[in-house]
Amino acid sequence: MEPDVERRGLGVFSVAPIGFGAMRLTGPNVFGPPRDRREAIRVLREAVERGVNHIDTAQFYGPNIVNELIREALHPYPRELILVSKVGARRDANGRVLADDEPHRLRGAIEANLRTLAVEALPVVNLRLMRNGEPDALFDDQLGAMISARDDGLIHSIGLSNISRAHLLHALQATAIACVQNLFHVTNRASQPVLEECTRRGIAFVPFGSLGFGATGPDAVLRGREVVEESVRLGVTPAQLVLAWSLAVAPNMLLIPGASTVDHLRENLSASAVRLDPEAFNRLSAM
């Protein structure tokens, strides 16, 4: 990556504002092998060639498949590449996502990531919460397992995913947090209090679903009237507009849009060069 390219903090690491979420490099519903394995490998290699140095993955993507693709495409990894995984969930034989968050299970999940990615340690691993509610004794024990894995050298930093502001504040009493990964996009800002707390504390906020899910419903984004009209006015694609808006929302925002084709990858990465004028930013912010 060129030295003058913008970087943002991810714990002690420094990464490009737009990384790559590898979840979509699987079959339908993040289950099973990709339809075109060769294209999946090509996407990963092109991402790194274009300056991506932050890849988000998980052992339960596939399951196993995404980590194996990353290893095949990129190992031995560039020194500056920051691989981030998550633990706390698993897939059953039918592809359902189930909680796998008992404290004694988290270390085994971290070790499984290390094996499939062929690394001795991971820069960041997120604890993905699968249960609603306030911080409790289970959360304390989960944090304890993550801290133990860090102290034993299996991971460098701890992240949290799918959490509330209360969880973040509670966790910070026990350990440093490198990043928070929550659902957040232009039409779903339920995590705004978490984002604001992260911004105050200089913690990276890494939204998942930054382009929404599907063409209709509460998490539809790219076909929204404001998005379509502003993208036409500015001469960018709806995806680029929405990603550029997210980057402009906060200086600690790190994006990990997914892509299953090289063309889609290039479209997403080009959003880092898009600068929204006040009219576009304010109109999207009012959605």
Domain boundaries, the chain: 8-215+253-260
- Given a cut of 50, whether residue 215 has pLDDT beyond it is yes
pLDDT at 219: 67
pLDDT tens-digit series, residues 13-43: 999 999 999 999 999 999 999 999 999 999 9
Q: In what helix (H) or strand (E) does residue 264 lie, and over which residues does it extend?
A: helix 262-269
pLDDT at 213: 77
3-state class of 28 per DSSP? Answer: helix
In the chain the first and final C-alpha atoms are separated, in Å, by: 35
How far, in Å, are 211, 225, 242, 257, 284 from residue 279 at the CA level? 20, 15, 14, 24, 9
Catalytic sites, residue numbers: 61
How far, in Å, are 74, 85, 95, 108, 159 from residue 32 at the CA level? 21, 18, 8, 22, 26
Q: What superfamily does domain 8-215+253-260 belong to in CATH? A: NADP-dependent oxidoreductase domain (3.20.20.100)
pLDDT at 220: 77
pLDDT at 20: 98
